[in-house]
Amino acid sequence: MLTKLAKQLGLDFPIFAFTHCRDVVAAVTNAGGIGVLGATGFSPEKLQIELDWIDDKVGNRPYGVDVIIPKRFEGRGEGNIDKQRELVKSAIPDGYKEFARNLLDEGGIPPLPPGKKLEDRLSMTDAISAPLVDVALSHKNCRLIANALGTPPENVIKQVQDAGVMIGALCGSPKHAQYHVDAGLDFIIAQGGEGGGHTGTIGSMVLWPEVVKIAGNIPVIAAGGIGSGRQMHAALALGAQGVWCGSIWLTTTDAETSEASKQSMFDASSSDTVRSKSFTGKHVRMLRNKWTDAWDAPGNPDSLGSPMQMMMAGESIVRMNRHPEKSQDYFFNPVGQIVGSMNKSISARDQVMEFVTEYLEVNEELNNLLPEG
Ligand SMILES: Cc1cc2nc3c(=O)[nH]c(=O)nc-3n(C[C@H](O)[C@H](O)[C@H](O)COP(=O)(O)O)c2cc1C
């Protein structure tokens, strides 16, 4: 099970855990895999605090940090955050915030108190992510940086590699894998369309070997639909050097996922997710609900692009978070199709051990398939 990539990173098992929760990062890293902290949405100050905390828990073991710098978005290349924010804000047409407000009114979710001022939140841009990369690189146990939604800008690739840290990126199609190869990335995460979060349409079974072929000597990590040792076995058989999982950690006891969201995931089947642009402006696989249905319904406004839709939805997200008990049918719950098999809550450490145990059992099972004699 120890692949070249896992050995290079100092792992016992080639299990990469994408998560927004520092506890999950530390637990998976300490269990012999590697936790990767999703830093999108964090300020540099908050990321500093989280990584200092993780450093304290993991000794010399490695972890990673993930940022989002999409290939295309309104305001790309504008290095000044305030200017970028203004550009994005001015690209939100009239009527959109109104539509979102009415939607939550209909759902009985109380409005914000009069006079409450909200900052226009910007995320998923180069100007926002650059300081996060600086913070990550100032922590010596941060051994990898990953980027979602495109090949990282050339200067970021150079900065990370010059610091002796590996840099890779997610991709959902062979075309995007080729861009990553051409840019000289150190690893590629091939995410099939069944995965949670931003995702394409090609299924893992088809995508992984396609990307492995294109990547040549660059290691490929398989993502999308992996929640068991059996699925991990399949990923390595298809040429991957590791597995990158996101959904499975959401219902672990270490995760900060709200009890209400955990319950929605326990209740969901593998057909209850949808790819929708309704929160971030790019296709995200998440639990289908009244919010996604409304934005995807014909005749209603189409979701905006990125990062306008996210900025526009900011007010609604704050509103939902203030009244979680009334917002169950509207929440942003990114999760992949494996949600249908996520029906118990164990610790992240035990989850890693379950992966390993089942992987070994499958080895045994395959050996037993050989005819005797
Ligand atoms: C709640 C959630 C949030 C995610 N956010 C990000 C993100 O910020 N950056 C990123 O690179 N990938 C993100 N992803 C995708 C994961 O990195 C991973 O590729 C994906 O979850 C793998 O598929 P799986 O959900 O079937 O395990 C997210 C996934 C989930 C479930």
pLDDT tens track for 115-135: 888 888 888 788 888 999 999
Q: Are residues 118 and 186 part of one domain? A: no
Q: What is the number of H-type helices and E-type strands within the chain? A: 14, 11
Helix 204-215 and helix 229-237: axis angle, to 10°?
Answer: 40
CATH number at residue 15: 3.20.20.70
Q: Are residues 101 and 156 part of one domain? A: no
221 CB within 6 A, ligand 1: no
Residue type present at position 148: A
365 alpha carbon to ligand 1 midpoint, in Å? 30
Q: Are residues 285 and 242 part of one domain? A: no
292 CB within 6 A, ligand 1: no
Q: How many domains does the chain have?
A: 2
**Per-residue pLDDT reduced to its tens digit, 100-117:** 999 999 999 999 998 888
Residue 335 lies inside a defined structural domain of this protein: no
Residue 25 confidence (pLDDT) above 80: yes
Q: Are residues 50 and 190 part of one domain? A: yes
Q: Are residues 228 and 133 part of one domain? A: yes
Residue 72 confidence (pLDDT) above 80: no
Mean pLDDT of 42-53: 97
Beta strands 284-287; 197-198: pairing state: antiparallel
Give the DSSP letter string of 171-233: ESSHHHHHHHHHHT-SEEEEE-TTSSEE--SS-HHHHHHHHHHHHTTS-EEEESS--SHHHHH
Residue 110 lies inside a defined structural domain of this protein: yes
What pLDDT, on a 0 to 100 scale, did the predictor assign at position 284? 97
Q: Are residues 249 and 305 part of one domain? A: no
What pLDDT, on a 0 to 100 scale, did the predictor assign at position 73? 75
Atom of ligand 1 nearest to the CA of 41: 8
Give the C-alpha distances (Å, rounded to integers) separating 248 from 30, 149, 342, 363: 17, 21, 7, 22
The answer to whether 247 touches 335, Cβ cutoff 8 Å, is yes
Q: Are residues 245 and 153 part of one domain? A: yes
Q: Are residues 68 and 91 part of one domain? A: no
Residue 67 lies inside a defined structural domain of this protein: yes
Residue-number span of the structural domain to which 85 is assigned: 81-122+275-326
Residue 79 confidence (pLDDT) above 80: no
Could you tell me what percent of the chain has a pLDDT over 70? 100
Q: Are residues 235 and 161 part of one domain? A: yes
What pLDDT, on a 0 to 100 scale, did the predictor assign at position 84? 85
Please, which pLDDT band fits residue 211 given cuts at 50, 70 and 90? Answer: very high
| pTM reported for the whole predicted model | 0.95
Which residue puts its alpha carbon closest to atom 6 of ligand 1? 197
Residue 270 confidence (pLDDT) above 90: yes
Q: How many residues does the chain have?
A: 373
Q: Are residues 109 and 215 part of one domain? A: no
333 CB within 6 A, ligand 1: no
Candidates 18, 28, 40, 202: which one to mutate for ligand 1, based on the most atoms within 8 Å of Cβ? 18
What pLDDT, on a 0 to 100 scale, did the predictor assign at position 241? 98
